[in-house]
Structure 1
């Protein structure tokens, strides 16, 4: 009887060791599974952030290109290119007309009509009312949506009806909203940006600084939307 009892006690201890080992092994599996799921979730979040940033960068670049096209397409009211002189070659005629268009484009940007657009402002002195009147215009512009700066003295130009925005809307999930890229233009005289004003042509130039902002997707959560700002400077010379 004593031998049987000892054998039964040893068998119970073995079963206890097996049970503890199984529990430890199960715990390790659960921890490994948790770390795997957490890693996958982090990778998914990172991919989403990268996509949002890429969209914001692309939107800012689209806005810069749109602003450049807008700048070069502006003409004074009633302007028409001069007719080709009799006997002039086609190449010479096109060159003369291109020069006339460029000269009139410069005249437009030298006029007050450009400032009347609302999203074009004099760069110096700056248009900011707060926090510092000497701050550059892009720090106090009203960029709209969830990206605003102090002052709100003027509103950026939105590319709401652009091909970029139309195509982007078709790729988004239901409930997500596209925030249109936008830009502002600051006008400077050459001496305000330390250009070489010794050149007579430079003295008559107009310098335009474009600041553009692109956005990620607005999912309606109320969180801050990813954004990217880019700048480019254009010098229009006689």
Structure 2
């Protein structure tokens, strides 16, 4: 950081704010105690360096719902866990550091898992195995009109105005149940695609009920973590 920028302290503060949960401009500004205009300039520089990325809901080119995220998993891990444990790390207490960060590792790894799932879908496309010829993949968030509540879709990719895929990624020790699939089905109907393909990704597999629901449908693919890695690395 010192090699790339003149004021590393504020840059570090902004990256730390994002890594620890501040994703919107107003939240980042409040955490680092700087005006949004100042933060905007620093964020542009961080995006040029590839350390931060700006995300908008899939299909929206410019949106007030835009958020910021760390663009590199190593930086995300470091700025999420290292600064607040720096004194313990410097004393070599590795076991104590792990004990402190272990409760939050699943959340961190869940975001990484989403990226691996996107790589899997890109691999299908490049191998000619994808039912949807998407041009890009992204995340969507907004209001679900059926429940009038905020909703999020982990992965979304459109072929054209009639065909798209939707994916949900679950990094949990429990098997994914039918309720997760049913939620994905409902959220896919927020959009008006005639042909929809659904992908459910899981760390530790699926319950019998989930597999039964998926088995009755012709547009659902269930993918376990091991299968996913084999596809990407094979």
Shorter-chain TM-score above 0.5: no
Which structure has the larger Rg?
1
TM-score, with normalisation over the residues of structure 1? 0.20
Q: Which has the higher contact order (CA 8 A, sep 6+)?
A: 1
